[in-house]
Amino acid sequence: MAYRELLYEVEGPLALITINRPDVLNAISLDTLSELHRAVDEAGADERVRAIAVTGAGPKAFASGSDLSEVEHRDLKQAMEPLVQGIAEKLQRCPKPTIAAVNGICFGGGLEVALGCDLRVATRNASFATPEGRLGIIPGGGATQRLPRIVGRTWAMEMLVMGQRLDAERALALGLVSRLVEPERLLPEVREMADHIAGYAPFVPVFMKAMVNYGMEGSLGAGLALEKFAQGALLGTEDKAEGLRAFLEKREPRFKGR
């Protein structure tokens, strides 16, 4: 599948999606969003792929935000289009683990793409902000809902209302990202993460992600009940038996996704 504003490649178990507009700091246009939807769908349907990563081309930006040349002419009807808010939702709902590999600035709509991912890894020169308030608007891609759930209400309000810019160290301390690496280590780190995920039985990361997503949207009791049924389903798989045998025989398991 051809892309104009993205680079898409599959490397072993990793599908790497790169926003490829470095001349405008990877600002996200509606065409970029449309291609991101297609790329995530393509990676989700590829049986070789066990993890999906999104990053930005060049050393300066993951994504600087929405393309302001389009926002200037965007009206209420366009703002309500599912394309805008939907990419973060798609990354969150995709059964496969998703990783944001953040290099440089990650602002506005770019941050909202990263917030939709399950894991966020950043370089030490990364920074994060929601500057929409200075433009007379609010975030429209999920930041008002996902930020409080990730960093807590107080820091979410600091970022949203004050336009607080977080450096990489602060982002790590608040749990906005889980790992910090030197810029040259960003993609190698993500590839190693994908290889690690690929070492699990195929059902395991899918079930873990589903348990967290659905559990956080319901009550603790409902989540625990769902977890018990999910574990029970995995106990009946061939991969569970192979995993136990491999552990006892001190060898690497050979999982088949059955």
Q: Are residues 65 and 51 in the same domain?
A: yes
Same domain membership, residue 165 and residue 244: no
- CA 172 – CA 151 distance, rounded (Å): 10
Tell which of 183, 198, 213 closes a domain: 198
Which three-class secondary structure state does DSSP give residue 12? coil
pLDDT category of residue 246 using cuts at 50, 70 and 90: confident
Q: Which of 77-91, 97-111, 208-222, 224-238 has the lowest mean pLDDT?
A: 77-91
Q: Tell me: the pLDDT tens digits for 119-168?
A: 999 999 999 999 988 888 888 889 999 999 999 999 999 999 999 889 99
Q: Decide if 158 is catalytic.
A: no
Give yes or no: residues 109 and 129 share one domain. yes
pTM: 0.91
Token pair in block for residue 152? 């807590």
How is 116-164 classified by DSSP, letter by letter?
TSSEEEEETT-EEE-GGGGGT----SSHHHHHHHHH-HHHHHHHHHS-P
Residue 222, in any domain of the structure: yes
Residue 131: φ, ψ to 5°:
-90, 10
Residue 97 domain-assigned?
yes
**Residue 239 has what pLDDT?**
82
Please check the confidence at residue 74 and state whether its pLDDT lies above 90: no
Q: Is the pLDDT confidence value at 85 over 80?
A: no
Catalytic site includes residue 112: yes
The answer to the question of residue 253 being in a domain is no
Could you identify the residue written with the tokens 């950043």?
122
On whether residue 257 sits in a domain, the answer given is no
CA–CA dist 98, 118 (Å, integer): 5
> Which residue, of 198, 216, 235, is where some domain finishes?
198
Same domain for 216 and 162:
no
| CATH for 213 | 1.10.12
Query: Is 211 within a domain?
Result: yes
Catalytic residue of the set 9, 132, 227, 249: 132
The distance from CA 50 to its chain's CA centroid, rounded to whole angstroms, is 14
Query: Does residue 145 share a domain with residue 224?
Result: no
**Whether 117 and 149 share a structural domain:** yes
E strand or H helix that includes residue 69: helix 68-71
Residues 189, 159, single domain; the answer is yes
> Residues 203, 209, 215, CA angle at the centre, nearest 5°?
125
Co-location of 229 and 106 in the same domain: no
Q: Are 198 and 51 in contact (CB under 8 A)?
A: yes
Residue of 72, 112, 158, 252 with catalytic role? 112
pLDDT in tens, 25-64: 999 999 999 999 999 999 999 999 999 999 999 999 999 9
CA distance 162 to 181: 28
Q: pLDDT confidence of 229, banded at 50, 70, 90? A: confident
Whether residues 176 and 215 fall in one domain:
no
Same structural domain, 194 and 211: no
Query: Which pLDDT score is estimated for 171?
Result: 97
Same domain as 173, residue 238? no
Number of structural domains (the chain) is 2
DSSP state, 57?
Answer: S
Give a yes or no: residue 234 inside a domain.
yes
What domain range is 78 assigned to? 6-198
Read off the CATH number of the domain in which 91 is found.
3.90.226.10
Residue 70: what residue type? Answer: E
